[in-house]
Structure 1
Amino acid sequence: MSRLIIVSNRVAPISEGGPAAGGLAVGVYDALKETGGMWFGWSGDVLSSGQPQIKLEERGPVTFATVSLVRRDYDQYYRGFSNATLWPAFHYRADLLQYDRHDFEGYRRVNAWLAQQLVPLLREDDVIWVHDYHLIPFAQALRAAGVNNRIGFFLHIPFPASQVLLAVPPHRELVEALCSFDLLGFQTTPDLRAFCDYIINEAQGTVRASASGPLTVQAFGRTLRASAYPIGVYPDEIAELAKAGERGKPVRTMKATLHSRKLIMSVDRLDYSKGLVERFRAFERLLENTAALRNKVSFLQIAPPTRADMHAYQDIRLQLEGESGRINGRFAELDWTPILYIHRQYERSVLAALFRTAHVGYVTPLRDGMNLVAKEYVSAQDPENPGVLVLSRFAGAAQELEGALIVNPVDVDGMAEALAQALGMPLAERQARHRDMMVQLRENNVSVWRDNFMRDLQNVGGAKRGRGAKGRGAAGAERASGPSGASGKKAARESVTG
C-alpha cells in the first residue's frame, strides 16, 4: 500500500483532543495511522538566526517531519502574502487586502524551499496530499524538482468568485500553480463553481463533467480533476465527549452562573471573517426588541486569539471588547451580565460539554469554507432536548445543515429574529431538526471526506509513478542553500514559470 504524505502549513499537535485538534488533525491523522506515512510542515518556530533544520519524529507508523522558518520567510510567506493578501481575498474582503511583490516572491520562495526539504524523504509510490492556501505553489515546486507522484490539494477556506480573485495581482500565477496538482478539492459546490468560472473565463481553459467522479479541467497545458469534498466531523464521538463532560467543573460552573437562564453560545477564532461585531449587535437588538428576554438569556462568546501580531486582528479584538462593554453597560443588572466574552482557548472536550448546555448555537461568519463549529454544536446536543443552530448562509455548513435557522450575517434584525425563534422553538420541532442534521452528519463524516478524496486521488491518470535521480539531486543542492539563499530564489522562479 502506498504511503500517505500529508503536507500542511502547520503540523497539528499529536495529543488527540487537545485545543488545536480540529478537522484537519482528526481526519488525516486517522488516515496516517491506518496506512502509515508522514506529516510534513512548519513547526511553528521562527528563528532569529541560524539555518533551519528538518526534525523527524517517529510515532508508530507515522513520521512527523517539521522545519522552522527564519524571520524574513515568516514575515513574507505567512504574515505577508498568505494572511495579508490571500486570506482577506478568499474571504471576500478585498477592502482589507494588502499586497507587496516582495511578499509574493517570499511566498513562492518558501513554498519552493519547503518542497525541496520534502523531496529527499519521498518514495516513488507515495501519494501526497497538500492542504490549504499557504501551499498553493507546492505541487509546482515539486514538479520542478522532478517529482511525478500523485499530488492532491484541498482548500479549507472559500474559493472566491473571479471578480474578487482578480483583486489579487498575481491571480493568474496562483491558478496556474493550482493546475500542477492532479486533484483539487473544495469545501462546497459554489467554491468549485467559482474555480471553474475562472478556468473558463479568465484562463481560457475547459471543464468537462463525467458520468461519475470529479470534473476534468484542462488549463495551462495541464489536465487535472476537481470536485467538492465537504469536510465533516465524527458526530457520535463528539456526542459521547459532550455527554461525558456534562458533570465536569466547567459545565457546573457555567450552569451555576446562568441561574436557569438560557444560553446562546459561539466559538470562533478572533477573525474579521467571523462576523463577530454583527453578531454582538444582533444580540443587542434581541434585547432591545424583546424586553421579556432581559435577564433570561446570556450570550457566551469564546474567541481564542489568532495572528495577534497583525494589525487587522488587533483592531477586531479592540472593537469586540468595546462592543461587549457597551452592550453590557447598557443592559447588565446586578445579578446578570448579558455577554460573557472570553478571549482564550479551551480543549475540545470542554467545548463539547458547553455546547450541550447551550440552548442556541450561534454561528454567523461573514464567509467560511465549512465551519466545523456548526457541526460540532449539532453533534454535541442531547437528542431528547436539543438546542437550535443559527447559521450563516455563507458558511459551507449551510449547504448541508438544512435543520438550522439560516441567516444573513449582515442582517442584524434578521439574526435577532432568528435568535428569538430559536429560544422559543417547541421541543418537537427542535428534535426533528436535530434528527435530520445528525443523519447528514453521520452519512458525511470526516472519514467519508477523507476516503472520497483519497479514492479520487488514487484514480487520477497519467505518469505519476516516480521521481528520477535528477530530481533528487536537484533537491539536495537546493536544500543545502537554505530558504532565503540565492538558489532558493532561483528555484522559486523556476517553480512558478516551469
Structure 2
Amino acid sequence: MSRLVVVSNRVPAPKPGGASAGGLAVALSGAMEARGGVWFGWSGDTAPHDAPEPEEARLIVKDKVTYALVDLTERDLEDYYSGFSNRMLWPLFHYRMDLTGFTRVTLGGYYRVNKLFSKLLRKMVEPDDIVWVHDYHLVPLAADLRAAGLKNRMGFYLHIPFPPPDILTVLPNHADIVRGLAAYDVIGFQTPYDVENFETYLRREKLGRRLSGHRFVVHGRAVTVMALPVGIETEAFAKTAQASEKNALVRRAEESLVGRSLIIGVDRLDYSKGIAERIQAFESFLTLDTEWRNRCTYLQITPKSRSDVAEYAQMEREVAELAGRVNGAHADLDWTPIRYVNRAIGRNALAGLYRLARVGLVTPLRDGMNLVAKEFVASQKPKDPGVLLLSRFAGAAHELDGALITNPYDIDGTAGAIARALEMPLDERADRWTRMYERIRNHDVAWWCDSFLKALEQPANDGAEVRPIKKAAG
C-alpha cells in the first residue's frame, strides 16, 4: 500500500491538551495511519518579513504520521494568504466579483509560496507515494512538483465552489489556474454543478474536453474529474449529540428557553454565509407570524473570522448592529428574540445545541458544501427531529432532499419557510430526517476519503487517446 502525502494550507499538528480534531482531519489522519504518511503545510506561525527562506520543514512525528510544518514570513502571509487566496480566489469562487482584489504583487506571492512548498515537499516525497493536495490556496503545487521531475500520482480536492466561466474569467490568470489543475491526475469537486462549470469552461476556452465517464483531457493531459461531496463522522457525531444532553452549557441553554422553540444558526463570520439576510428573514417572520412572538428564540453562533481584513471587520459590526436593532424592536422584558454569540462553542456543546433546536438555519449565499447542515441532521432525536432549512446555494442541497430548500435572497420566502418548519407535524419531520440521515450515514467522511483515494490509485493509463489541445489566445 502506497504512503499518503497530504498537503493543505494549514496542518492540524497534534498539541498536548489541544482540542480534538474535526472529522476531515480525523479521516485523513486515519488514512495516513493505515498507510504511513506525511501531512505538509503552513504551521500557522509567522517569521519576520526579512527572515531567510526555510531549507527544511519542521517535523512532528506521531505514530505513523509525520506532520511537516512550514513557517511563513509576514510578507508571504500578506501576499499569498490574505492577498491572492482570500481577497481574489475566495470571493470570486463564491460569486462575489465586487469584493475581488487582484494585484500582480499578491499573485506573485501566491506562486512564490507554492514554489516554496514544492521545494521543501519534494525532498520528502518517495517514488511510490500518492500526493493529495487540498483547496484553492495550492492549485499550482502539482505543476511545480512535475517540473521538478516527480511522476507520482497526485490528486486535488476543491472544498469551495467552482464558478461558471463568466465568473471565473474575471480572474486575469484564469487560464494559468486551470493549467495548474491539469497537472493533477484526479480533481475532486463537491457537486455535479461544479463539474458542469469546469466542463463548460474547458469547452468555451477550447482548453479541453470530456473523454468518457469521469475522464477529461485538459491542456493535452488526461485527468479524472469527479463530484465527491465531503461528509462528516455521522455516527460518531450522533453519539456526541446524544451524550451532550448532559452537558452543563446545553442544560443551561435548555432551561433558559422556558419552553420556547429554539432556532439555531452556526456560521463562521463570512460574507458568503448570508447571516445578515438570515437575520432580516427572522425579523420578517416575527412581523408576519405574530403568533410566534415570545414562543421561539433564534440563537446565532458566529465566531470571528479574518478580522484583520477590512471587509470582515465591517461585516462584524454590521451583523452585530442588525441583531441589536431586531432585538430592540421586538424584545419583551422576559424575551430576547435573537441571541448573538460572537465566539466559538466547543464541539460537544454544539452538538447538544443542535439536538435542542426545532429548526436549523443553514442559508449561505454560496457554499461549497456546508457541513453544519450535516451536523444538524446527525444530531437530531430520531423520535422527535428538528427541521433543516437549507439554502439552494449550498452544496449540501444536492444531497439533503429532506430539507426545506430556500432562496436566502428572498427574505419573505425564507421567513415563510421558518414558519413552516416550526409548524411541521412530527410524521413529516421524521420522514424528512430519516432520508437525510441515511444519506449522510452512507456517505460519511470515511466514504469520501476512501472514494477519492480509490480513484487516485487507479492506473494512469486507461487506454484513452489524448490529443494535444491548442492553447487559447490570451
Deviation of the 1:13 alpha carbon: 4.8
Match of 1:322 in 2: 321
Aligned counterparts of 1:79 and 1:339: Cα–Cα separation in 2: 32
Deviation of the 1:315 alpha carbon: 1.2
Question: Alpha-carbon deviations, 1:339-381, whole Å to 9, x = none?
Answer: 1111111221111111001111100000000000000000000
Match of 2:146 in 1: 143
Match of 1:371 in 2: 370
Aligned counterparts of 1:35 and 1:308: Cα–Cα separation in 2: 39
Amino acid at match of 1:28: L
Q: Write the mapping of 1:27-106 to structure 2, written as runs, cut at 5 A.
A: 27-48=27-48, 49-51=50-52, 52=54, 54-106=57-109
Deviation of the 1:450 alpha carbon: 0.7
8 Å CA contact 2:13–2:60 kept in 1: the answer is no
Deviation of the 1:15 alpha carbon: 6.5
Match of 1:172 in 2: 175
Q: Write the mapping of 1:40-439 to structure 2, written as runs, cut at 5 A.
A: 40-48=40-48, 49-51=50-52, 52=54, 54-210=57-213, 215-439=214-438
8 Å CA contact 1:183–1:460 kept in 2: the answer is no
Question: Alpha-carbon deviations, 1:425-445, whole Å to 9, x = none?
Answer: 111111111111111111111
Amino acid at match of 2:22: G
Change (3 A) 1:262 1:17: farther
Deviation of the 1:206 alpha carbon: 1.3
1:340 is paired with a residue of what secondary structure? strand
Match of 2:471 in 1: none
Deviation of the 1:144 alpha carbon: 1.2
8 Å CA contact 1:18–1:348 kept in 2: the answer is no
Change (3 A) 1:204 1:16: farther
Deviation of the 1:24 alpha carbon: 2.6
8 Å CA contact 2:168–2:174 kept in 1: the answer is yes
Amino acid at match of 1:161: P
8 Å CA contact 2:286–2:293 kept in 1: the answer is yes
Deviation of the 1:209 alpha carbon: 2.1
Match of 1:449 in 2: 448
Aligned counterparts of 2:317 and 2:16: Cα–Cα separation in 1: 32
1:245 is paired with a residue of what secondary structure? helix
8 Å CA contact 1:391–1:398 kept in 2: the answer is yes
Aligned counterparts of 1:9 and 1:346: Cα–Cα separation in 2: 24
Change (3 A) 1:219 1:144: same
Deviation of the 1:203 alpha carbon: 3.6
- Give % identity: 47
8 Å CA contact 1:13–1:20 kept in 2: the answer is no
Amino acid at match of 1:350: A
Change (3 A) 1:155 1:34: same
1:167 is paired with a residue of what secondary structure? coil
Change (3 A) 1:231 1:17: farther
8 Å CA contact 1:378–1:434 kept in 2: the answer is yes
Give the stretch that moved more between structures: 453-462 or 393-402. Answer: 453-462
Aligned counterparts of 1:154 and 1:99: Cα–Cα separation in 2: 24
Aligned counterparts of 1:121 and 1:192: Cα–Cα separation in 2: 32
Deviation of the 1:18 alpha carbon: 6.8
The list of structure 1 runs, each at least 4 consecutive aligned residues, that deviate by more than 4 angstroms after superposition, is 15-20
2:9 is paired with a residue of what secondary structure? strand
1:121 is paired with a residue of what secondary structure? coil
8 Å CA contact 2:407–2:413 kept in 1: the answer is yes
8 Å CA contact 1:265–1:358 kept in 2: the answer is yes
Aligned counterparts of 1:129 and 1:308: Cα–Cα separation in 2: 30
8 Å CA contact 2:264–2:360 kept in 1: the answer is yes
Aligned counterparts of 1:137 and 1:309: Cα–Cα separation in 2: 26
1:8 is paired with a residue of what secondary structure? strand
Aligned counterparts of 1:57 and 1:124: Cα–Cα separation in 2: 22
8 Å CA contact 1:19–1:348 kept in 2: the answer is no
8 Å CA contact 2:13–2:67 kept in 1: the answer is no
Structure 1, gaps ≥5 residues long:
464-498
Give the stretch that moved more between structures: 407-416 or 51-60. Answer: 51-60
Structure 2, gaps ≥5 residues long:
463-474
Amino acid at match of 1:312: E
8 Å CA contact 2:24–2:232 kept in 1: the answer is no
Deviation of the 1:142 alpha carbon: 0.6
- TM-score, scaled relative to structure 1: 0.90
1:226 is paired with a residue of what secondary structure? strand
Aligned counterparts of 1:423 and 1:358: Cα–Cα separation in 2: 10
Question: Alpha-carbon deviations, 1:311-354, whole Å to 9, x = none?
Answer: 11111101101100100000011111111111111221111111
Aligned counterparts of 1:403 and 1:311: Cα–Cα separation in 2: 38
1:98 is paired with a residue of what secondary structure? coil
Give the stretch that moved more between structures: 320-329 or 347-356. Answer: 347-356
Deviation of the 1:26 alpha carbon: 2.7
Deviation of the 1:462 alpha carbon: 4.7
Amino acid at match of 1:82: S
Match of 1:487 in 2: none
Aligned counterparts of 2:62 and 2:430: Cα–Cα separation in 1: 42
Aligned counterparts of 2:22 and 2:394: Cα–Cα separation in 1: 17
Aligned counterparts of 2:417 and 2:17: Cα–Cα separation in 1: 32
Match of 2:24 in 1: 24
- TM-score, scaled relative to structure 2: 0.94
Change (3 A) 1:386 1:458: same
Question: Alpha-carbon deviations, 1:408-430, whole Å to 9, x = none?
Answer: 11011111111101101111111
Superposition CA RMSD, Å: 1.5
